[in-house]
Amino acid sequence: MGIHTDMAVEAHEYFSEKNSRIPSGGAKFLEKPIGTYITFEAEDLRGFENESSLQNRSFIAREIEKLLEKNGISDSAPILVVGLGNREITPDALGPKVVSSVFVSRHLFDHFPQIKNADLRPVCAVSPGVLGTTGIETLEIVKGINEHVHPKCVIVIDSLVARNISRLGKSVQLSDSGISPGSGVGNHRKGLNRDSLGVPVISIGVPMVVDAATITDNIFECSVSMLKNASEKQSKFYEMLSEMKPFERKAIFKEALSGITDELIVTPKDIDETVNDLSKVISAAINLGLHKGDISGYLQ
Amino acid sequence: MGIHTDMAVEAHEYFSEKNSRIPSGGAKFLEKPIGTYITFEAEDLRGFENESSLQNRSFIAREIEKLLEKNGISDSAPILVVGLGNREITPDALGPKVVSSVFVSRHLFDHFPQIKNADLRPVCAVSPGVLGTTGIETLEIVKGINEHVHPKCVIVIDSLVARNISRLGKSVQLSDSGISPGSGVGNHRKGLNRDSLGVPVISIGVPMVVDAATITDNIFECSVSMLKNASEKQSKFYEMLSEMKPFERKAIFKEALSGITDELIVTPKDIDETVNDLSKVISAAINLGLHKGDISGYLQ
Amino acid sequence: MGIHTDMAVEAHEYFSEKNSRIPSGGAKFLEKPIGTYITFEAEDLRGFENESSLQNRSFIAREIEKLLEKNGISDSAPILVVGLGNREITPDALGPKVVSSVFVSRHLFDHFPQIKNADLRPVCAVSPGVLGTTGIETLEIVKGINEHVHPKCVIVIDSLVARNISRLGKSVQLSDSGISPGSGVGNHRKGLNRDSLGVPVISIGVPMVVDAATITDNIFECSVSMLKNASEKQSKFYEMLSEMKPFERKAIFKEALSGITDELIVTPKDIDETVNDLSKVISAAINLGLHKGDISGYLQ
Amino acid sequence: MGIHTDMAVEAHEYFSEKNSRIPSGGAKFLEKPIGTYITFEAEDLRGFENESSLQNRSFIAREIEKLLEKNGISDSAPILVVGLGNREITPDALGPKVVSSVFVSRHLFDHFPQIKNADLRPVCAVSPGVLGTTGIETLEIVKGINEHVHPKCVIVIDSLVARNISRLGKSVQLSDSGISPGSGVGNHRKGLNRDSLGVPVISIGVPMVVDAATITDNIFECSVSMLKNASEKQSKFYEMLSEMKPFERKAIFKEALSGITDELIVTPKDIDETVNDLSKVISAAINLGLHKGDISGYLQ
């Protein structure tokens, strides 16, 4: 509908602009499934060692705990962590990178019985790849693994598309409504949710790109407000622009863009570092949120 | 048994030394399952552009075709390619790297009906990770995917442990007997084979490491032959050494090593490049062996 | 001037639009130093193995040879290859990646006298990093090395900023006028050229990003032409837009963007692969252009 | 002389075994230049977040400060950090990886005068590559940069070859005697020291590999002690072995190995992670040791 965002908070903003009020039946209207959505924003989200980074991690961990509790998942229930995305496309690599830093413990329960007293739970983790590199729908792979592993909950991590460039790499969205078809940088075709997997699905997403139509619109909006005080000819431009509804503009840009290419992404210049840093923060938060006991003795 | 090698040709050599003849009931004695084993050796296996590299690839592709034919797999039958190993340990990353260069076509058959006339077959490919990073037995993951994808054949690629350092990065072993438990650099606990997966399993392996006990023994053997013509005191050493049976020596070294560490590997200095180069060669050979039609139009 | 492009061909186009003719004194007007500029475009520039990719490489190699000849560099004259850019920012990593595949021979001339009969020249290659990660101006590092190595010519490779998204990853610009201050993805502050280095400087650049103001303008232009045939209200929008001169529009967008962030880049989605593939193509072309003799025996 | 180690503490041990006492004129005899050598060992050297890892970093930082002080380098004197080694060979990549995490500040002094009150010093950092990939002696590159940058001290980081496998990834050697020719995993031909660079050179090295002859000897020694209590035939073997002097044995193994290949290295299985983790620890220690002021505001 002329807007592409994976962030509930943005969908809400957008429809607010458009309609001045959110209608009832909100979930459908927002094109987001019903459930709890938490958006956490922090300027210094990428940091790892200072005081505020410890607070960031604790906050995210606490939200994971709350979502588990809300969905009736006990402290010892086994969990499958799924890192969505293509590790060979930098802004889409968040999921696989988080998975490679998540502490996996499921196999230890088979071989070290004493672990049962350590206040840990069985956690396993996979990066299923994307349709374009595996030839298999992500949902099919996750279903197959799910049927052999029997977790009580699935946690999925994904890179998101945002509408507002100022959110890139600076927010985390947590939800218990799963991943919708068509969302994420990699565009999942089939949803990963309680319906398709049979257990609660908690998603953790970070906005990493905006699409090219969005950036155009963002710049456009800035142009409009910038031109308010400008000279005569520009004022005429302003008048024109300000008459258009945002969603009309965006639709035009989107159509125009399809004439060029839809294979462009807009990312922060330092996206490689951003993804590395955030994958550390999120995996640390997951480790903290999933285990009451101390895992440091099991790490390198 | 005092020997660790994943290569059938080496197991054969070893038992030849030890027993001067191979007993009947060979497969069990060689600790290798029954099936066809092909070992292809080439000094310039890593090259990609010259004449002989084209021949190398064609040879490997032809052997894949023969194994498919021998196992009754038709030209249009769907195939699942599985890259075993840990992509974060360089010499173990061959499988995942091959998979990322294999041409996957399975999803195209759903969306582009005209592909059915292109003399291609549906191929899909996954890198399931290793027990230590997923918490799940590789076999369980592959089984789960297999049950959703229903291929007629599974092709697995793995880094192997060799006994002879001169083979590192210079041989390819093809087989239709699957992957045995305990083999590979990553030590798979459960076999991937026709019994466990229900379809033929073709394995493609390249020796990438020798273990530390093996390198000791290799050097030892060289020492012995070197000392044949040496001075008096050294001759006494030689006499002593040459009295020992190889398997006795190796057993001693292996036990000694366990007193130090079993976490050491011996690799060529340029292992990073070796793995990159060989993954290109093997994925090209797989692409050639699996499709009669021309795939170049589908690649970047 | 409301335009950011490192490509001479685009600067030319831009000023053509604006002024309908290029004034004399072109170089200064184009903000490009005087010299030879060759722009080579090919849809399949990234390919490596097929017929047309061999032609691409040969073409680029031949242009390198011509620029060397034009600047009086003999076949045996030593050359320093410099890979500009930050290897940790994907679209800026082209230079360092090319350097890591360039065949270096300078040290062989010291140790293997027989190489003098092989029709090769002494080539050395460095990746000096960028100001932000070294704390040193690139020019200072290159000067220091240059003074010890004494090449007869310096070849620099760099990622460029383009104005037209359809050129990303699809053109190569060769020139003998060096690298200008402020150009490249990494924004070099001081020029690398014959003046600063004392020897001819040949540059090889590939457009890898467009800036966010450019993409806005690109989409805008498409919007305008798209709206030509549109409905009443949109026509009014069209009328307005088409009245504006391109450079006015672009200046507005640029200013608007500075209110958001200047740290965004627009790249193809598959930029990681694009950079890898093109670095292979360009290093192969350099190897071909610099040596009359056969280097294949020295690789591995 | 039958021993290859870059670690002063091991050279000392070795000659102790051989001669029961260290002769006077120690430095020459140890094949190590005169200067201060500090070897810091810690089982958990790789950790980054817990209490003891903070102590490890502080300890290393304090030793850097002491070496600077001992060599008369003031708190505001500019420093050049040099990461030796080949970033494309995993165990040799420590130096380049440390450099990419060192806080560089030299360029900030030019552009932000207020930094002069922040109790920081100008630091710059380069990774010059290795002879095999640049065609230029590392010393020549560092000299050239040194002559333009004029630091008061050079700090070099390098991967070392150890004699004892139990030290791999678990020790840090600091010294103010520079880097000797022939040392390091990459085998530098010409020394980087006060003589060649004109300023004090502080080296920070971590043992990352042992050579194949060393591992053989290590296993051999274990075999000998293991066999002390063994059965008759093995005792004869033991008797034989224990009669040989260690340096005789090692010489034999070394010669034998040269008959096979000298291109093998022995590393811990998890070398990729080890190098990543240690580069973080050492760069953090360098940042701490070089600046009295707080750099956290300048980092991401």
C-chain residues within 8 Å CB-CB of B50?
296
For C80, the token pair is: 């320093």
Residue A98's identity, in one-letter code, is: V
Look at residue B286 and tell me whether its pLDDT is greater than 90: yes
Q: Mark yes or no for CB contact A277/D296 under 8 Å.
A: no
Q: Mark yes or no for CB contact C300/B50 under 8 Å.
A: no
Give residue A149's pLDDT.
97
Burial classification of residue D158, based on how many CB atoms lie within 10 Å of its CB (0-12 exposed, 13-18 middle, 19 or more buried): buried
For D222, the token pair is: 């274990």
Look at residue C103 and tell me whether its pLDDT is greater than 50: yes
Name chain A's partners: 3 or more CB pairs within 8 A: B, C, D
D-chain residues within 8 Å CB-CB of B220?
216, 256
R_g (Cα) of chain C, nearest Å: 21
Give residue C252's pLDDT.
64
Contact by Cβ (8 Å): A253, C223: yes
β-pairing verdict for B201-209 and B171-175: antiparallel
Q: Mark yes or no for CB contact A136/B148 under 8 Å.
A: yes
Q: Mark yes or no for CB contact B300/C50 under 8 Å.
A: no
A150 to A100, B144, B196: CA distances (angstroms):
21, 11, 20
Look at residue A18 and tell me whether its pLDDT is greater than 50: no
Look at residue C244 and tell me whether its pLDDT is greater than 80: no
In chain A, what percentage of residues exceed pLDDT 70? 72
Name chain D's partners: 3 or more CB pairs within 8 A: A, B, C
Look at residue D55 and tell me whether its pLDDT is greater than 50: yes
Residue of B nearest to C277 (CA): B300
D-chain residues within 8 Å CB-CB of A46?
300
Look at residue A229 and tell me whether its pLDDT is greater than 60: no
Taking alpha carbons only, the member of B86, A51, B223 closest to residue D257 is B223
Helix D232-243 vs helix D212-227: crossing angle, to nearest 10:
130
Mean pLDDT of B93-119: 91
A-chain residues within 8 Å CB-CB of C265?
266-269
Q: Which residues on adjacent β-strands are paired with residue B174? A: B38, B204
d(CA C153, CA C121): 12
Most confident of A152-166, A210-224, B57-71: B57-71
The residue ranking higher by pLDDT, A141 or B39, is A141
pLDDT tens-digit readout, C33-61:
678 889 888 878 887 767 778 889 999 99
Contact by Cβ (8 Å): B149, B80: yes
Residue of D106, D133, D137 lying closest to C100 (CB–CB): D133
Three state DSSP letters for chain C = CCCCCCCHHHHHHHHHHHHCCCCCCHHHHCCCCCCCEEEEECCCCCCCCCHHHHHHHHHHHHHHHHHHHHCCCCCCCCEEEEECCCCCCHHHCHHHHHHHHCCCCHHHHHHCHHHHHCCCCCEEEECCCCHHHHCCCHHHHHHHHHHHHCCCEEEEEEEEECCCHHHCCCEEEEECCCECCCCCCCCCCCCECHHHHCCCEEEEEEEEEEEHHHHHHHHHHHHHHHHCCCCHHHHHHHHHHHHCCHHHHHHHHHHHHHCCCCCEEEEECCHHHHHHHHHHHHHHHHHHHHCCCCCHHHCC
Mean pLDDT of C211-235: 62
Taking alpha carbons only, the member of C160, C206, C170 closest to residue C46 is C170
Residue of D nearest to A298 (CA): D47
Residues 6+ apart with CB under 8 A from C148: D136, D140, D141, D143, D144
Mean pLDDT of D235-264: 61
Contact by Cβ (8 Å): D91, D275: yes
Which stretch of A63-72, B28-37, B100-109, C163-172 has the lowest confidence by average pLDDT?
B28-37
Residue B29 — very low, low, confident or very high, per pLDDT cuts 50/70/90? very low
Taking alpha carbons only, the member of D276, B87, B125, B129 closest to residue A106 is B129
Q: Mark yes or no for CB contact C237/A240 under 8 Å.
A: yes
* Average of per-residue pLDDT values in chain B: 81
C-chain residues within 8 Å CB-CB of D145?
136, 140-141, 144-145
Residues 6+ apart with CB under 8 A from A19: none
Look at residue A281 and tell me whether its pLDDT is greater than 80: yes
Give residue C6's pLDDT.
75
pLDDT tens-digit readout, C189-209:
789 999 999 999 999 999 998
Q: Mark yes or no for CB contact B140/A136 under 8 Å.
A: no
- Residue matched to tokens 């961990």: A61
d(CA C220, CA C239): 13
Q: Mark yes or no for CB contact C135/D88 under 8 Å.
A: no
Mean pLDDT of B56-64: 94
Give residue D19's pLDDT.
42
Name chain B's partners: 3 or more CB pairs within 8 A: A, C, D
Most confident of A267-271, C173-177, C222-226, D20-24: C173-177
Residue of D104, D145, D146 lying closest to C133 (CB–CB): D104
The residue ranking higher by pLDDT, B75 or A242, is B75
The residue ranking higher by pLDDT, B251 or D61, is D61
In chain B, what percentage of residues exceed pLDDT 70? 72
A-chain residues within 8 Å CB-CB of D50?
296
Residue of D104, D108, D134 lying closest to C104 (CB–CB): D134
d(CA A105, CA B136): 9
For A200, the token pair is: 């609660």
Look at residue C145 and tell me whether its pLDDT is greater than 90: yes
Mean pLDDT of B261-288: 87
Q: Mark yes or no for CB contact D89/B256 under 8 Å.
A: no
Contact by Cβ (8 Å): A58, A40: no
Give residue A126's pLDDT.
98
Instruction: Show the CA angle centred on residue D168, arms to residues D163 and D169, nearest 5°.
Output: 150
For D115, the token pair is: 């930094």
Helix C232-243 vs helix A232-243: crossing angle, to nearest 10:
150
d(CA C198, CA A79): 64
Q: Which residues on adjacent β-strands are paired with residue A267? A: C265
Contact by Cβ (8 Å): C104, C295: no
> What totals of helices (H) and strands (E) does chain A contain, helices first?
12, 7
C-chain residues within 8 Å CB-CB of A271?
89-90
Give residue A11's pLDDT.
67
Q: Which residues on adjacent β-strands are paired with residue B203? A: B156, B175
For B8, the token pair is: 């059938």
Look at residue B140 and tell me whether its pLDDT is greater than 70: yes
Residue A15 — very low, low, confident or very high, per pLDDT cuts 50/70/90? low
The residue ranking higher by pLDDT, C281 or A240, is C281
Residue A20 Rama label (left phi>0; alpha psi -120 to 50; beta): left
Q: Mark yes or no for CB contact B47/C273 under 8 Å.
A: no
Contact by Cβ (8 Å): B127, B174: no
pLDDT tens-digit readout, A80-126:
999 999 999 999 999 999 999 999 999 999 888 888 888 999 999 99
Give residue D13's pLDDT.
66
Which stretch of A122-131, B226-235, C121-130, C185-194 has the lowest confidence by average pLDDT?
B226-235
Residue of A nearest to D273 (CA): A300
Mean pLDDT of B163-187: 83
Residue of C131, C137, C145 lying closest to D141 (CB–CB): C145
Q: Which helix (H) or strand (E) holds B38?
A: strand B37-41
Which stretch of A160-164, A202-206, B174-178, D120-124 has the lowest confidence by average pLDDT?
A160-164
Predicted model pTM: 0.84
d(CA B128, CA B124): 13
Give residue D251's pLDDT.
65
| Å between A270 CA and nearest CA of chain D | 10
Residue of B227, B240, B255 lying closest to D226 (CB–CB): B255
B-chain residues within 8 Å CB-CB of C50?
296
Mean pLDDT of D66-84: 97
Residue of D108, D141, D149 lying closest to C136 (CB–CB): D149
Residue D240 — very low, low, confident or very high, per pLDDT cuts 50/70/90? low
A-chain residues within 8 Å CB-CB of C264?
165, 215, 266-269
Residues of chain A in Cβ contact (below 8 Å) with chain D = 46-47, 49-50, 270, 273, 277, 296, 299-300
Residue of D46, D296, D300 lying closest to A300 (CB–CB): D46
Q: Mark yes or no for CB contact D140/C137 under 8 Å.
A: no
Give residue D208's pLDDT.
92
d(CA B127, CA B138): 10
d(CA C200, CA C211): 30
Residue of A nearest to D44 (CA): A300
Look at residue A260 and tell me whether its pLDDT is greater than 70: no
Q: Mark yes or no for CB contact D100/C88 under 8 Å.
A: yes
Look at residue B7 and tell me whether its pLDDT is greater than 70: yes
Residue of A165, A260, A267 lying closest to C218 (CB–CB): A260
C-chain residues within 8 Å CB-CB of A252?
223, 226-227, 234, 237
Taking alpha carbons only, the member of D97, D99, D94 closest to residue D123 is D99
Domain boundaries, chain B: 8-209+268-295, 215-257
d(CA B230, CA B225): 10
CATH says B8-209+268-295 is which class? alpha beta
Residue A121 half-sphere exposure, CB side, CA atoms within 13 Å?
25
How many Cβ pairs closer than 8 A exist between chain B and D? Answer: 120
Residue C29 — very low, low, confident or very high, per pLDDT cuts 50/70/90? very low
Helix B94-101 vs helix B271-290: crossing angle, to nearest 10:
40
Complex ipTM value: 0.85
β-pairing verdict for A37-41 and A171-175: antiparallel
Look at residue A45 and tell me whether its pLDDT is greater than 60: yes
Taking alpha carbons only, the member of B187, B171, B252 closest to residue B217 is B252
Give residue A26's pLDDT.
44
β-pairing verdict for D153-161 and C264-268: unpaired
d(CA A7, CA D172): 47
Mean pLDDT of C93-99: 97
Taking alpha carbons only, the member of B285, B289, B284 closest to residue B68 is B289
d(CA C54, CA D232): 69
